[in-house]
Structure 1
């Protein structure tokens, strides 16, 4: 029997929590923001729950909740998030298969 895809719902018990490095990094950012008092755990849980109730896949909902809360708090703005996302996408497209993706690979990097 194959294990369920955790991206389709909540993580599977006794299986790795993170399927990709970005998930661990996003989690670490959220924990750091919570530890500094810039993000409330209960508010984050409510925002995540609302997105999951709307049918979003677990990590997509998780990232959307984090992005919404950091913009709502004024820690960043949607334009900056969009610009950074675009930079990562360009860097990924320019990176040879099997190599780590870094922002240095973004062809539009200043």
Structure 2
């Protein structure tokens, strides 16, 4: 399994020792899993993915210590999905804004649901 092989190479990730957790936040694991699943479904090759991620990591302002690695991972995924016509940037931005509004509208301690977006039409 490619995803497991990548996870077993923790030392290859910026700033991580072999015994450090791979993901600092749950969203990082989810972004990782999405990339692996989309690759396994044939949406893009590993070389396409590596090229997209490399372009993001090389952007000016990237943290030298790699703490923003998964932010670059997510940005690369969003750009690759837009380039493939799967999820245009406009749609991703609108959905992200809806989740942000839903988060702000959700009472503390309650699960965030997209239906909590005050602009949700449902």
Superposition TM-score, scaled by structure 1 size: 0.79
Q: Which runs of 5+ in 1 are unaligned?
A: 1-8
Partner of 2:116: 105
Q: Which residue of 1 aligns with 2:7?
A: none
Instruction: Give 2:54's aligned residue.
Output: 49
Q: Given the superposition, is the C-alpha separation of residues 17 and 44 from structure 1 closer, same or farther in structure 2, using an over 3 Å criterion?
A: same
3-state SS, counterpart of residue 52 of structure 2: helix
Separation of aligned partners in 2, 1:31 and 1:50 = 18
Quick one: which of 10, 28, 34 aligns to 2:33?
28
Gaps of at least 5 residues in structure 2 are 1-12, 63-67
Cα RMSD (Å) = 1.9
The corresponding residue for 2:94 is 83
Please state how far the C-alpha of 1:96 moved relative to its aligned partner.
Answer: 2.9
| Alignment of 1:10 onto 2:43 | no
1:101, distance to aligned residue in structure 2 (A): 2.4
TM-score normalized with structure 2 length: 0.72
Change (3 A) 1:39 1:24: same
* Residues 1:60 and 2:71 are matched in the alignment: yes
The DSSP-based 3-state class of the residue aligned with 1:101 is: coil
Aligned length, in residue pairs:
102
Which of 42, 45, 49 is the aligned partner of 1:40? 45
The answer to whether the 8 Å contact 1:30/1:39 transfers is: no
